[in-house]
């Protein structure tokens, strides 16, 4: 059974369509990487898949049920959302921000249980930021805020995690930390769909790729099949080559540039 499926999905805002005719299927244990240039609609697509904004055409299915038939609490138990790092005007403690991920598991007026607090603590520790628990969320760095949002999604214990550019604010070491955690989640049977501006992340971590451009799907499938020099150059409007390293990993490099060598 698929975890998430979009069929002929049109998405956008009133009087402003953004994307059209998008088909995708995310299975349990899969990491799908959503790629595309700025403004192609990745964030809007994610919000439509989550039911946060109404679709303009087609449908979204969660466990083969139309998302419109599901209440918000049920959706929150199935899907967790990691938005791009943001700041809030209210000075929540980091631990409380992560604890918010447990809301879907509680009644409307009930407070957090010991299990909720233990799960939030474990999520912070999993990402190595448990020392930030008492810090003011508005006073930590953008990269640290991104890790907190990911910890909140982990505490939610959903079967699907939607991540909007989760590595955008992170240094190289923390990018590796987050993407390795994504791989562990998929190995544990969760479905993960994430957007990124770095095709190398797709080569290294993704099991499938969905490439958006000009408001619709440009290519979809296995990274090695989709991320070819011709397709990448056309979608991003720049000459791009794909090279295979001795380690076996593929990387994208711009063509027509002279390498700089330092002694």
Q: Where are the domains of the chain?
A: 4-236
At 194-221, the pLDDT tens digits run: 999 899 999 999 999 999 988 889 999 9
**Strand positions, DSSP E, the chain:** 4-13, 16-26, 31-35, 57-62, 65-66, 79-82, 160-163, 191-195, 208-213, 216-221, 240-244, 250-254
Is the pTM value of this prediction over 0.85? yes
Cα 134 to Cα 117, 137, 160, 168, 217, distances in angstroms: 13, 9, 28, 24, 43
Low-confidence winner among 23-32, 59-68, 81-90, 190-199 (lowest mean pLDDT): 81-90
pLDDT band at 99 (very low <50, low <70, confident <90, very high): very high
Question: Residue 220's closest CA among 238, 208, 228?
Answer: 208
Instruction: Name the fold adopted by 4-236.
Output: Rossmann fold (3.40.50)
Alpha helices in the chain (DSSP H): 42-49, 72-78, 94-99, 114-126, 142-155, 172-187, 199-205, 223-226, 229-236
Site of tokens 């990691």: 82
Which residue is it, tokens 């991540």? Answer: 163
């Amino acid at each position: 059974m698929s975890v998430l499926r979009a069929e002929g999905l049109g998405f956008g805002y009133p009087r402003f369509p953004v994307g059209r005719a998008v088909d995708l299927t995310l299975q349990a244990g899969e990491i799908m990487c959503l790629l595309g240039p700025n403004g192609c609609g990745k964030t809007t697509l994610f919000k439509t898949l989550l039911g946060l904004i109404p679709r303009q055409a087609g449908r979204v299915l969660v466990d083969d049920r139309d998302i419109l038939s599901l209440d918000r609490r049920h959706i929150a138990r199935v899907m967790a959302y990691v938005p791009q790092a943001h700041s809030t005007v209210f000075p929540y403690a980091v631990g409380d921000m992560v604890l918010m991920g447990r809301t879907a598991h509680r009644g409307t007026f009930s407070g957090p249980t010991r299990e909720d607090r233990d799960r939030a603590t474990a999520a912070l520790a999993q990402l190595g930021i448990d020392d930030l628990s008492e810090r003011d969320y508005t006073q930590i760095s953008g990269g640290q805020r991104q890790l907190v949002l990911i910890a909140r999604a982990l505490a939610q214990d959903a079967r699907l995690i939607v991540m909007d550019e989760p590595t955008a604010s992170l240094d190289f070491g923390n990018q590796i930390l987050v993407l390795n955690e994504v791989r562990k989640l998929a190995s544990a049977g969760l479905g993960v769909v994430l957007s990124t501006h770095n095709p190398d992340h797709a080569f290294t971590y993704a099991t499938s790729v969905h490439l958006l451009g000009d408001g619709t799907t440009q290519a979809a499938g296995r990274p090695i099949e989709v991320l070819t020099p011709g397709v990448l150059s056309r979608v991003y409007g720049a000459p791009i080559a794909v090279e295979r390293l001795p380690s076996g990993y593929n990387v994208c490099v711009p063509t027509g540039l002279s390498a700089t060598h330092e002694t």
